[in-house]
Chain A
């Protein structure tokens, strides 16, 4: 799930790029949303750079915050059966469609991934579809953010002077307009009578959301398995049954040894002990 800073997405299939849900998973019972409140590209805690760190809020169906925290490796957000892990981060561009009269008619956030191979350092995650009133596709709009450079490498952060390179394509995929605009600037859409305005460039966090009630159960099973394995290693079960059988001519000592681990040294130890006991008995000891 890619969530731009300030954006809230419902925990529903449509919010996810990659989804893997079991056949019994009931989405209709999920009533929560996920919001990214902030993203610090270089968050330092306890003297350790935690990397790009989003602050994530989990909201219930009524929009109340259930839990809010910074999320970074080894500090995942956990709430009940839910775990949120930060996978990566990128940039986001907020574009608004504006009529010739200057009235804003729509607004959308496009996500942009960092890429060392791309000429500007970023690639679009997806396209925005612009439709007419009848619902017919008019344009596909994508955006990238040209990054600042440090030496040969791109600086993976919001540029000092943020701009967006907007590509407007016709329904058949041919680019009809390519332009780079700065914050607040507009580009006129061909034959549409309106324009696109760049309203913001920020960060987005790609989150891995796992809802698995079986994790505590699996941990419990794991614990029992390890405890069982420990018992097997530590315990040394030995059963020794010794019976004195008195016959008409002599007295016999019958020993039955059961070694759970069938350890040869245990056997020899027990045989030695029995021999010692018999020897002591012969010598008149009461031991």
Chain B
């Protein structure tokens, strides 16, 4: 087992420990445990960055190619977004109970998958690759945090007067949580739009057409439209509260499906980028 893989297992262990600590800290109202969980998450992020850095140096390209790398990059962005937000606003740390399990599940899946080294092919050899994938990762990171805030909102809202109100009392007020959810959806929506736009420009260079109705293209557009509807109902129809939070939860799952589920389910030119053994 190489140092790169060892470091990634260590990162996964830290993320799993952080998930458990968030669970314990929030369930038993142990604020110190919740606070330490953020430290553990940060340590996990550091190990993940180190592992991916070694791989980047060794292969000569960033984590864009193959299931292992693509999922790793998504986890990295989701964890980084959450950790930055939680360090800036420690009261939001408890939202890790929703965000960190996602990182553990995804990174665990990546660790159990093939870590095949996918070569840069002629159609991938473009600076657009970095830009396109970077914005996909950033968008997912933002959506993951919006998901965490929305889940925290719903849990506290649905247990009005119950145990969870006290357990989550350290979280910011509900209106602040809702506003954060909306803000991260806005940021993710912008990044997703840039991802689609840069992808179209790159597709014309690499495939000879801007839009081919490839399954990932189609589903990316669907996700973008769903988040557009989310923002529309929020700002135009003035939706608030629990139903708005519920909107953000499946939307993030759909974004995740578009990014890593579609290449598994469909034969798509993007599958080569996802590295599921198909050529471009």
Contact = CB atoms under 8 A, between A and B. Distances in A.
B208 interface: yes
Interface residues of A, number: 27
B197 interface: yes
Contact of A48 (B121, B173, B197): B121
Given A51-B122, A268-B175, 18 more contacts: A48-B121, A49-B122, A73-B206, A74-B123, A85-B208, A222-B197, A226-B190, A226-B197, A229-B189, A229-B193, A230-B190, A232-B186, A232-B190, A233-B189, A264-B178, A264-B240, A265-B180, A268-B176
Nearest to B174: A264
Contacts of B266: none
A208 interface: yes
B239 to A, nearest CB: 11
Contacts of A49: 121-122
Contact of B208 (A87, A229, A265): A87
Given A226-B197, A233-B190, A74 B238 contact: no
B190 A73 contact: no
B187 interface: yes
Nearest to A215: B204
Contacts of B120: 48
B171 to A, nearest CB: 13
A74 B235 contact: no
The contact size tier of chain B is 20 to 34
Contacts of A48: 120-122, 125
Contacts, number: 66
Interface SS of B by simple majority: helix
Interface of B: 120-123, 125-126, 128, 173, 175-176, 178-180, 182, 186-187, 189-190, 193-194, 197, 201, 204-208, 235, 238, 240
Interface in A190-232: 208, 219, 222, 226, 229-230, 232
A47 to B, nearest CB: 9
User: Nearest 5 pairs between A and B by C-beta?
Assistant: A264-B175, A265-B179, A85-B208, A74-B126, A50-B122
Contacts of B187: 233
A72 B193 contact: no
A81 interface: no
Given A87-B208, A262-B235, A233 B186 contact: yes
A100 to B, nearest CB: 47
